[in-house]
Amino acid sequence: MNMQKWSLTRKLGFILGSVSTISSIVLNVTFSDLHIFIKAGDMSFFAACFIGGILAAQQIGRAKAGGNAGLWASLYYLLFTSIYTAIVALLQFVVFHQIPAIFKQIDLSGPATFLDIIVTLTIAAVALISVVGFAIAVNAVIGWCVGALGGLVGKSQYHKKVISQY
């Protein structure tokens, strides 16, 4: 796949990943009291990957391009929703004054206690990084698969330009 095709899939992924993130946030915030509509925001992820696959395959003519567009859409969706979630979680953490409460509970009176805290924080960080890495991998695979399905639909709608030999 040449660079022009690759940049097309990235552009489609960026645009559709951004749109699906915004629609997911709007749907989740608007309908937060109704538990039925919470999953509607998450369904925009699948729609973005599928539509990205269709559009990329229509323009390039290969289902693989649809898979790549779905992959990029899923990665951008994950990136933008992670940033949004981190900002909201940080604001809630600071607003409710949890940081001073946690530091009041930590007793750094001896080296064994300090070592226990370091080991606990290290284990928590490794576990968090592992879970985030697994989530990224699963999200990328799902996005690529849904984009490839959209690519199959888009490939059937691709019309190759016929150059006349005369």
The predicted-structure confidence for 71-103, as pLDDT tens digits, reads as follows: 999 999 888 888 888 887 777 766 666 656 666
Judged against a pLDDT cut of 70, whether residue 127 lies above it is answered with yes
- Full-model pTM: 0.72
Helix axes 63-95, 38-60, angle to 10 degrees: 150
Q: Give the range among 5-14, 125-134, 137-146 with minimum mean pLDDT.
A: 5-14
CA angle 142, 17, 33 (to 5 degrees): 90
Q: Residue 61: what pLDDT? A: 85
How far apart are alpha carbons 129 and 112 in whole angstroms? 26
Written as one letter, the residue type at 76 is Y
Contact (CB, 8 A) for 36 and 15:
no
Q: What is the pLDDT of residues 15-62, one digit of tens each?
A: 888 888 888 888 777 766 665 555 666 788 888 889 999 999 888 888
Please tell me the distance from the alpha carbon of residue 153 to that of residue 140, in angstroms, as a whole number.
20
Q: pLDDT band at residue 121, thresholds of 50, 70 and 90?
A: confident
**Cβ neighbours of 98 (radius 10 Å):** 11
At 146 the pLDDT is: 92
Q: H or E element: which one contains 154?
A: helix 111-156
Residue 157: CB atoms within 10 Å: 10
Q: Does pLDDT of 166 surpass 70?
A: no
Q: Could you state, in order of their start, the residue ranges of all structural domains in the chain? A: 3-156
